[in-house]
Amino acid sequence: MNDSEFNALANAALSRIETGLDASGVDIDFAMVSAGVLEIEFADGSKIIVNRHDASKALWVAARSGGFHFHWDGHAWRDTRDDGELMATLSALVSAQSGVPVILA
């Protein structure tokens, strides 16, 4: 995958995350704090950061429970450790940190 393909896929994923968070109805704040960096802040002050990492062509997620790296497999963003899908993993992470069940589609 070349840089422009990666950027298009990564930016689409970040946009999809924002749309899912907005539709979830959960009381959280989120914003793109810089190019390719989405910050999700919870009522208790904790955060989840989703970062486009250009050098490794990956999406990195930093959450209270740890760090995760997702690579595009041709169909979905998959965690390099357990092959979990990005949106499913983020749903679980956001649910855990917010205390409210959240499903990001």
Predicted model pTM: 0.91
- Would you say 67 and 53 are in contact if contact means Cβ atoms under 8 Å apart? no
- Would you say 79 and 88 are in contact if contact means Cβ atoms under 8 Å apart? no
Residue ranges of domains in the chain: 3-98
- Would you report the helix, strand and coil content of the chain in percent, each value rounded to 5? 35, 35, 35
pLDDT tens digit string along 39-56? 999 999 999 999 999 999
**Chain center to CA of 11:** 11
Q: Smallest Cα–Cα separation from 104: which of 50, 42, 23?
A: 23
- Phi and psi dihedrals of 42, rounded to 5? -105, 165
Topology, domain 3-98: Metal Transport, Frataxin; Chain A (3.30.920)
Residue 105 is predicted with a pLDDT of: 77
